[in-house]
Amino acid sequence: MLTIGDMSRASGVKVPTIRYYEQIGLMPDPERNAGNQRRYSGRMLDRLTFIRHARDLGFGTDAIAALLELQDRPQTPCATANRIAQDQLADVRARIARLTRLQAELERMTTACSGTGTAGDCAILASLADHAQCTADH
């Protein structure tokens, strides 16, 4: 059996986050010893590692809960898991597109400013003051 500190070290998930996952139901309530300390099994460590990996990939807690439910029922078709992953991929692509537009706008602004003039003549400050000059959608 593992302590919450052992779980944290092994998974890279902070102790308060493990407690939070228990509170919201992503992690089951652990067994308790006579001193009321949490005790976790290796299977619970596997579950926590799954959650951490899913979080690293940007999945939200609702999506993770659905994926965990599927994992807990291995005979269930994986179409739902595929849909959840496809939705996450679409979100990531949309964020990348938005960041690419923001990058282009910042490049435009910094290219327009030599950095040698005064604040009154600064192209960056002018762009920020007049949103109509902005070419990015943010």
For 15, 53, 74, the CA distances from 88, given in Å and listed in that order, are: 27, 14, 22
What was the pLDDT predicted at 25? 96
pTM score, whole prediction: 0.81
Give the CA distances from residue 84 to residues 38, 46, 52, 62, 71, in Å, rounded to whole numbers and listed in that order. 32, 21, 16, 10, 13
The CA distance from 130 to 73, in Å, is 55
All structural domains of the chain, each given as residue ranges with its CATH number in brackets, are: 1-59 (1.10.1660.10)
Which residue did the predictor score with more confidence, 31 or 65? 65
Residue 138 pLDDT class (50, 70, 90 cuts): low
Question: Per residue in 34-66, pLDDT tens?
Answer: 888 999 999 999 999 999 999 999 999 999 999
